[in-house]
Amino acid sequence: MTESLADGFDSVSFEQWSEAATKGDANFALMTLLENGVEAKWLYTREDAIAPDPSGLPGKAPFTRGTRAGRHWQIRQEQTNPDRARANAEILEDLNGGVTEVTLRFDRAAREGLAPGSSGFDDARGIDGIAISNLDQLSQVLDGVYLDMAGVALEAGAAAPAAAALLASHWRENGVAPDAALGSFRYDPLGCLARTGELPCSPEDALAVAGGLAASTKADWPGVKSLAVDTGIYVEAGATASWELGIAIATGVEYLRAAVEAGLDPAAAASQIEFTLSVGPDQFLEMSKFRAMRRLWARVLEEAGVADEDRHSSTYGKTSARMISAVDPWVNMLRVTTAAFAAGTGGADGVTVTPFDASIGQPGSLGRRIARNTQIILQDESSLGRIADPLAGSWYGEELTDEVARAGWERFREIEREGGALAALRSGLIATTLTGLAEEREDDLNHRRRVMTGVNEFPLLGDDGAEPEVPDRSSVASDSGRLAERPDLAGLDRLGDAPAGEWLATATSLASSGARIDELVPTRAEEPFSLPALNPHPDSTPFELMRRAAADHEKAGGDRPQIYLACMGTIASHVNYANWAKSFFEVAGVETVPSGALESNEEQAKTLRGGGFELVAVCAGRNQTPEDVADLVTRLRDAGAQYIYMVNSTPELNEAAMDAGADELVKNGVNLTGVLTATLGRLGVEVKS
């Protein structure tokens, strides 16, 4: 183009634009508050540039612009099928379909270190993960996987060091050279404590184990990560972006100190840590969060004396469990697509996308296929994997990154003033703060200041077509007896005496001899350490409770919850009000039955009586008169309406309806769950929390 798009137009100053946008109201703020300390202006200009080059170069300190420099991020898929043969088949299907790394989520029995035959083992076997207890079972799950091509990450809770020994043994049994192994043991003791409220030993001992595992892993498997900082539970419990970053950095500092205490220098210690941030659907905030995370961590490592080129740790993203809904689960595809886009363009080294059907049962073949293909399309067809840091240079993006980084650093300092991440968990600072933030978020959802499509707005009633897949635990039901048949294993007593740098090698040798995961869990105390676990607050829970109550009521033989919409005037005059009412009431599973365009209020009353409706919502267009609205309310009451809602219209029509005896005015900003729980109650449906 040789001509400017502005040619022919007079230039306008920011002050002139601001005056026009605010209509002279000095109290009108041209910004949107994203969270405390982080705001987005409505217009950015050259004056908002925070520095000529605020983020440096891709692949260079402070790594704000990422470490990949245009290379594809890793596509990591989590496997949770309890049946080992099914899990293996699904892993191979995922890898053949484009996945580059797999996460093995061990079942609850393994994560809690339960011994076969002990109390609770059979109940926990195959629950929420793959039933793996020893090397043979792990080898069955990984049969056919090219271990020097596909990274293997572990999700084993407090038993992660023991699971690491099983994986290391599997590598050795299959001839994988130490420098060719790809994977992450992902030991995150503080994250485990926050999620479950328990550790098999004191937190101080667990941190010492973390340091020892880092030292052992660096010595034996130099390309493998040993420690993880996973923010998932904190975000599920209510953390905002700044609190998520503050907790992540504070936890990373705890692990850095533990690894240095075990003998690693800070750079080597940092190379053993893998951060996993929870990714939500707010695209630009999430992109900025990843950029800010790397910048903050580089600052920590700078203070630790790490050279410029080593001031980074792997940073992964996993789509947030908080936003995954069991109501209309297909919409989850859209949320995770936006989240994966944000993580990938924000410079994540790898991304895990949650299958859309994960919240309704075991992820099926379609859910896993869509999850991996979402990333492949973003990387290859959309070419996002070929560019480095597309947010760089944007006045908005750079300033938002700066705001998120500063807010996150302040939260980190607050945690450090408490004594660090462990101290903040012990004192309740994190729990109390996140509970307050969760309540604020729930209030926003209840009042539709925050919209969740398909959940608190535009719901889908009836069969959504999703087919839940029930996890099959039958093949692992006899594991307890088979595992207990093994004779006692010599040498287990050596594990507790192994030096920090030799612990993994000792445990790996025992795993090769047949040791079970429960026997390899380090430093088990007589009594586990415990404190109150954080309380997850999924966004859709209050709305799912109402939908489930309505569905259960109908399944039990009750009438389908319904409300009659008395629509006044022509369809063109009332359609917006009727659509609003439909979206409002169907959020709770209450089917709306619109009247359509009837000729008179008398016909409205006749239709109400004929349908046997007890509840009615009046949808009056702006061209109605107050007298007509009042007459309709009176006729509906006489026809048997037990409760009459007035859908918000003009002040005059609202006042006329309420004066005539309407019971409640519903409009944007009312408490959805409060109003709709009461609505269900009037229809005989009890909502249980």
Does any domain span residue 367?
yes
Write the pLDDT tens digit of every residue in 564-583: 999 999 999 999 999 999 99
Could you tell me if 301 and 435 lie in one domain? yes
Average pLDDT rounded to a whole number, residues 246-266: 97
> What pLDDT is attached to residue 14?
85
Query: pLDDT category, 368, cuts 50, 70, 90?
Result: very high
Could you tell me if 149 and 294 lie in one domain? yes
Does any domain span residue 39?
no
Could you tell me if 435 and 559 lie in one domain? no
Could you tell me if 449 and 572 lie in one domain? no
Residue 364 parent element (H or E):
none
Could you tell me if 464 and 578 lie in one domain? no
> What pLDDT is attached to residue 142?
98
Could you tell me if 430 and 550 lie in one domain? no
Query: pLDDT category, 68, cuts 50, 70, 90?
Result: confident
DSSP string for 462-514 = S-----------GGGTTHHHHHHTSPP-TTGGGGGGS-GGGHHHHHHHHHHTT
> What pLDDT is attached to residue 16?
86
> What pLDDT is attached to residue 525?
65
Domain limits for position 394 = 74-472+525-530
Q: Which CATH number covers residue 637?
A: 3.40.50.280
Distance from C-alpha of 42 to C-alpha of 21, rounded to nearest angstrom:
10
> What pLDDT is attached to residue 55?
76
Could you tell me if 440 and 567 lie in one domain? no
Q: Judge whether 171 and 177 are in contact, CB under 8 Å.
A: no
Residue 330: name the closest of 463, 472, 471, 470 by CA. 463
Q: CB burial class (10 A; 0-12, 13-18, 19+) of residue 552?
A: middle
Specify the 3-state DSSP secondary structure of 563.
Answer: strand
Q: Which CATH number covers residue 349?
A: 3.20.20.240
Does any domain span residue 190?
yes
How far does the chain reach from its first CA to its final CA, in angstroms?
61
Could you tell me if 181 and 314 lie in one domain? yes
Q: How many C-beta atoms lie closer than 10 Å to residue 21's C-beta? A: 12
Helix, strand, coil shares of the chain, percent, nearest 5, are: 50, 10, 40
Does any domain span residue 232?
yes
Per-residue pLDDT at 3 exceeds 80: no
Does any domain span residue 549?
yes
Could you tell me if 362 and 272 lie in one domain? yes
Average pLDDT rounded to a whole number, residues 264-272: 97
Query: pLDDT category, 1, cuts 50, 70, 90?
Result: low
Q: Judge whether 409 and 296 are in contact, CB under 8 Å.
A: yes
> What pLDDT is attached to residue 37?
79
Does any domain span residue 342?
yes
Residue 565 parent element (H or E):
strand 562-568
Could you tell me if 399 and 546 lie in one domain? no
Number of domains in the chain: 2
Distance from C-alpha of 219 to C-alpha of 213, rounded to nearest angstrom:
10
Query: Worst-scoring range by mean pLDDT, 29-38, 286-295, 509-518?
Result: 29-38
Does any domain span residue 42?
no
Distance from C-alpha of 401 to C-alpha of 399, rounded to nearest angstrom:
5
Does any domain span residue 689?
no
- Burial letters 594-632, b for 16+ CB under 10 A, else e: bbeebeebeebbebbeeeebbbbbbbbbeebebebbbbb
Per-residue pLDDT at 52 exceeds 80: no
Last residue of a domain, one of 498, 530, 562: 530
Per-residue pLDDT at 45 exceeds 70: yes
Could you tell me if 463 and 568 lie in one domain? no
Percent of the chain with pLDDT over 70: 99
Query: Worst-scoring range by mean pLDDT, 74-83, 184-193, 387-396, 492-501?
Result: 492-501
Average pLDDT rounded to a whole number, residues 366-378: 97
Could you tell me if 564 and 663 lie in one domain? yes
Query: pLDDT category, 524, cuts 50, 70, 90?
Result: low
Last residue of a domain, one of 507, 530, 553: 530
